[in-house]
Amino acid sequence: MKQAELTVLLCLIWAATLLYGEMFAYWRPSLSSCSWPQLNRTSSSTADPDYVKVAVITDPQLMDRTSLPLPPKSLALELAQFFTDLYMRRAFHQSVLPLRPDVIFFLGDYFDGGPYLSDEEWSESLSRLRHIFSLRLRDRYLNIPVYYLPGNHDIGYGSLHSRKAQAIRRYEKEFGSRNYRFTVGKVEFIAIDAQTIDGNPQGVLASSTRDFIKNVSMDVQVYPRVLLTHIPLYRRDWTDCGPNRNSEIINQRILRSAGSQEVLYQNYITEESSNYLLDSIKPVLVLSGHDHDQCHVIHKSKKGPVGEYTVGTVSWQQGNLYPSFMLLSTSNFVPSNASSSEEAILTHLCFLPMQTHIYLWYLSLFVFTLVSLLLWPSSGVSVWHHCSDFMGIVKQVIGNIRSRTKEKIEDLNCEYEMIWDAEGSMHLVKKALGTPIAHSSERNSVESRGNAVMRPTARKNTSQDIEASVNGDTDADSVVDPMAKLLPRASRSLTKTMIRRLVRTLRMVMIIAAVNIPLYVMLLFKDWIDQ
């Protein structure tokens, strides 16, 4: 494969990855893994559908200046808000709406720092919320009723209600009453303000919530009831949350102010208030949020066991890598037993794309692209050919080093002897160290060896002559040895090759970016702009 073909292939891989990560991943819940649970029809009437389809969403918790330790209006905060809002908008428009729900429930925590935001900041966050869930386009979704529930990040806990009264006023002005009831199909839903149920009984807000619950309990129960509460009901510490739980179990923690005993923070409604709600409302099912992770528990009540589903957050920035929403099928006919949930309502949990994993895949693909372009050979030559050439150079260098080492070892294991011939010319003769050395008496005599005579007077200069001779041999060897030229030449060649590859890689990356960055920007703003 040539380099141009590799670039085209990488462009296609990037395009397919962007299309999946920015578009197709959000289609998967509505196309395959998510479907409305089917109720068993027990009524003989065929005029109406069997059930009403309800989508449940909770804890979008829009990021604001209270969410991260970043300066307000900073670029980093604006980017974090944009990509978080974009994820939820895609989830709503491409995963939830294609399922064609008849009704939508929001279970609270629409803002992150709701009670602490100024009116201007709150209005800005409200505008973002409307844009994400297209709540401003009421003419487009007139046939989909939407019901809201207050959360602790919207109005605060009881300790804030006296100091941040404007938080409740502006919530009620936009979203309506905090405690109310409504009917979907043949199922009655009871929505309560869970932030006030454990408040000081003498307080206005807490007493109004308990008065509402008392009125509900006194009414004749015609349809099965479902309790909607932002804060989950009480459960024992380390209660198992079922197979859909991804994070650690959160145990009960409730803090109260020293003076008024108003709630500062709580994970769950207290055990006393939970029993009061179950015995007064007599629900067949409880739906809650607040925990940001999925949980299914069974409560005991006077009427028998009651299941509670805590729905996970719809945002990928709220501590849950697996955001979710829930589908309900509520009966559209009167069940034979008003206290039975099997005939009245069914639930199905749906998971949204894991945005963090998508971004990690983008990063891995970027690294793979750089490595591929850097290491891919030029002119269609195989990578193994380049590797074999390089290994040949390495072997040649190692062989030269070994041969030189062997010669030097042989030189260290011998001595040189000066021999004069009959004409007076001197010659160096290499002799092994194992040769017996002549005694002093023998060195003082003149020894005849054929036509050559060794003279003792030359012994004193032997070491200097041998050193000069050896140095001369070494210089001669360096001229002949090819390793002295091979290493600098290979280094220069490797440097040039690396520079050429870096330039080539930069050029190819720019080509891939020129094709895919416009595609990415188009996908971003396609989903962000109202159509």
pLDDT in tens, 98-152: 999 999 999 999 999 999 999 999 999 999 999 999 876 555 555 789 999 999 9
* pLDDT tens per residue, range 473-527: 545 444 445 555 556 666 677 787 788 888 888 988 999 999 999 999 999 888 8
- The CA distance from 524 to 232, in Å, is 36
Count Cβ atoms below 10 Å from residue 216 Cβ, excluding itself.
20
pTM: 0.76
Total tally of structural domains belonging to the chain:
1
In a domain, 299, yes or no: yes
Does 274 score more than 70 pLDDT?
A: yes
- The CA distance from 195 to 168, in Å, is 11
Question: pLDDT-based confidence at 462, cuts 50/70/90?
Answer: very low
Q: Are 449 and 438 spatial neighbours (Cβ–Cβ below 8 Å)?
A: no
In a domain, 175, yes or no: yes
In a domain, 2, yes or no: no
In a domain, 163, yes or no: yes
- 3-class DSSP string for 273-307: HHHHHHHHHCCCEEEECCCCCCEEEEEEECCEEEE
- The CA distance from 62 to 106, in Å, is 14
Which domain does 148 fall in, by range? 49-361
- Give the CATH number for residue 65: 3.60.21.10
The Cα diameter of the chain in Å comes to: 141
- The CA distance from 190 to 254, in Å, is 24
523: Cβ contacts below 8 Å, ≥ 6 apart:
18, 19, 22, 23
Averaged pLDDT of the chain: 81
In a domain, 15, yes or no: no
Q: Are 129 and 62 spatial neighbours (Cβ–Cβ below 8 Å)?
A: yes
pLDDT recorded at residue 454: 44
In a domain, 321, yes or no: yes
Burial per residue of 126-140, b for 16 or more beta-carbon CB atoms within 10 angstroms, e otherwise:
bebbebbbbbeeeee
pLDDT recorded at residue 153: 95
- The CA distance from 39 to 53, in Å, is 11
pLDDT recorded at residue 476: 47
- In this structure, the strands spanning 447-449 and 452-454 are antiparallel
The larger pLDDT score, comparing residue 459 to residue 377, is at 377
- In this structure, the strands spanning 146-148 and 103-106 are parallel
In a domain, 499, yes or no: no
List the Cα angle 212/215/216 in 5-degree steps. Answer: 90
- The CA distance from 15 to 4, in Å, is 17
In a domain, 325, yes or no: yes
- The CA distance from 289 to 10, in Å, is 43
Residue type, 406: K
- The CA distance from 20 to 27, in Å, is 9
